[in-house]
């Protein structure tokens, strides 16, 4: 199935307007994690994601908001599921809590695991932007629900 085919199925299923905006993307910057997190999302274990506010500014992309719809794809570009943002928080990295880590649903769901993985990822990302990561940088924390397939 292609992204377009999944989107058309979702439009028919949901009754939404066919011109409803959406984006298709995968998690992470490597195949193993992208595919694993897509499956955790489809299964409902992963219900949130975090990204740096600076990356939206750097890429000149809009900051996610409540109601945004996204098609989660795997590394190969195949659609896995469709999510809709239910809540979006912007807070400093240092203020991420155990509850945030649990909702994100990765690894052992601990704050330590979350911090370790995101320090590495955000460190690589900011290096590519030519800046140094620090824990005061703001994180866009999106809480979402899977809306398709049901």
Which parts of 15-135 fold into alpha helices (H)? Answer: 31-43, 53-59, 98-104, 111-129
Whole-structure pTM value: 0.92
Q: Give CA torsion, residues 31, 150, 86, 103, to 10 deg.
A: -60
Contact 139, 50 (CB under 8 A): yes
CATH 3.40.50.10420 fits 3-148, yes or no: no
Tokens of residue 5, six digits: 């085919």
pLDDT tier for residue 32 given thresholds of 50, 70 and 90: very high
pLDDT tier for residue 84 given thresholds of 50, 70 and 90: very high
Over residues 132-136, the mean pLDDT reads 97
Q: Is 144 helix (H, G, I), strand (E, B) or coil?
A: strand
Model confidence over 47-59: pLDDT tens digits?
999 999 999 999 9
Strands (E) in the chain, as ranges, are 23-25, 48-52, 69-73, 79-92, 138-148
Q: How far apart are CA 110 and CA 15, in angstroms?
A: 38
Over residues 21-27, the mean pLDDT reads 96
Is the pLDDT at 29 greater than 90? The verdict is: no
């Amino acid at each position: 199935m292609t992204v377009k085919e999944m989107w058309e199925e979702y439009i028919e299923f949901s009754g939404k307007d066919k011109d409803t905006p959406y984006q298709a993307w995968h998690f992470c910057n490597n195949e193993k994690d992208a595919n694993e997190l897509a499956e955790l999302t489809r299964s409902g274990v992963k219900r949130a994601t975090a990204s740096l506010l600076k990356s939206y500014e750097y890429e000149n992309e809009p900051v996610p908001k409540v109601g945004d719809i996204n098609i989660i794809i795997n590394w190969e570009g195949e659609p896995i599921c469709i999510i809709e943002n239910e809540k979006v928080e912007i807070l400093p990295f240092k203020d991420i809590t155990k509850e945030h880590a649990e909702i994100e649903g990765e690894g052992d769901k601990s704050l330590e695991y979350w911090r370790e993985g995101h320090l590495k990822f955000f460190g690589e990302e900011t290096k590519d932007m030519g800046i140094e990561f620090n824990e005061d940088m703001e994180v866009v924390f999106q809480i979402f629900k899977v809306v398709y397939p049901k």
